[in-house]
Amino acid sequence: MLQVGLEHFLFVSAILFSLGIYGIVTRKNAVMVLMGVELVLNAANINFVAFSKFGNFGINGQVIALFVIVLAAAEAAIALAIVLNVYKTFVNINVDEINKLRD
């Protein structure tokens, strides 16, 4: 095994990203889709922090990661509110059945 370096972290984040996308695409439940989104955001965050450490960007990468976490929190709150509203309207939150966008 090689010495753990940038590539290792990037690899982990790439797999995590793909898994996130997979979750978003395949799950029926809207809350599960949200979880996928969280995975994707975390994958991106790992990249930021990793580049911050190995690319000599100082503290900036971490700051951006911090912002992303904040955004994620806001996004989660709004998304859940929307989910609740959708639930009230359609009595379910299965995204494959909510295809009003087509009409």
Partner 1 sequence: MSENLLIQLSVTILFLPLLGFFAVIFLNKKIPNMYKFELGVISLTFIATLLVLYGKLSGYIDETIIGTFNWIDFGKVPVLGSVTIELGVKLDNVAVIMLFTVNLISMLVHYYSVAYMKDDIRYNLYFAYLGIFTFSMLGIVITHNLLMMYIFWELVGLSSYLLIGFWFEKDSAADAGKKAFLVNRVGDIGMFIGILILYTNYHTFTFDEIFAQIQNGVIPFGSSGWLTAAGILVFMGAVGKSAQFPLHVWLPDAMEGPTPVSALIHAATMVAAGVYLVARIFAMLTADAMVFIAVVGAITSFVAATIAITQNDIKKVLAYSTVSQLGYMVMSLGVGAYAFAFFHLVTHAFFKACLFLGSGSVIQAMHHEQDIREMGGLRKKLPITYVTFLISTLAISGIPLTSGFLSKDGILAGTLAFGDLTGHWLIPAIGFTVALLTAFYMFRLVILTFHGKPRNKEKYDHAHESPKLMTVPLIVLSTLSIFIFYTPNPLSPDAGWFLGEWISTPQTVVPQSSAFEFMNDGTTGTSNEIIHSQIYEDAMHHAHYPAMFLSLALAGLGIFLAFVFYQWKKISADKFAESIKPIYQFSLNKWYVDEIYHYTVISGTLAFSKILHWFDAYIVDGIVNGSAALTRLISRISGLIDTYIVDGLVNFTALFSGFMGLSLRRLQTGKVQTYIVFVIFSVFVLLWVFNSI
Partner 2 sequence: MDLYDIIFYLFALLTLVSAYFVVTNKNIVHSAFFLLFTLFGIAGLYVLLGADFLAVVQIMVYVGGILILLLFGVMITNKITNVSIKTGTIHIIPAAIVIGLFAGALASIMVKTQWQTESAKIPFTTSYALGKSLITEYVLIFEILGILLLIALIGAASIARREEKE
24 binds partner 1 per the rule CB under 8 A: yes
CB of 102 to partner 2, least distance (A): 16
98 binds partner 2 per the rule CB under 8 A: no
Three-state DSSP at 29 gives strand
The contacts of residue 46 (CB under 8 Å, 6+ apart) are 9, 12, 13, 16
19 binds partner 1 per the rule CB under 8 A: no
Stretch that binds partner 1, among 5-13, 20-28, 41-49, 66-74 (CB under 8 A): 20-28
Three-state DSSP at 64 gives helix
Binding partner selected for residue 90 from partner 1, partner 2, none, CB under the kind-specific 5 to 8 Å limit: none
Whichever of 26 and 60 has its CB closer to partner 1, that residue is 26
State which of positions 29-68 bind partner 1 (CB under 8 A): 33
How far is it, in rounded angstroms, from Cα 49 to Cα 62?
6
The contacts of residue 32 (CB under 8 Å, 6+ apart) are 23
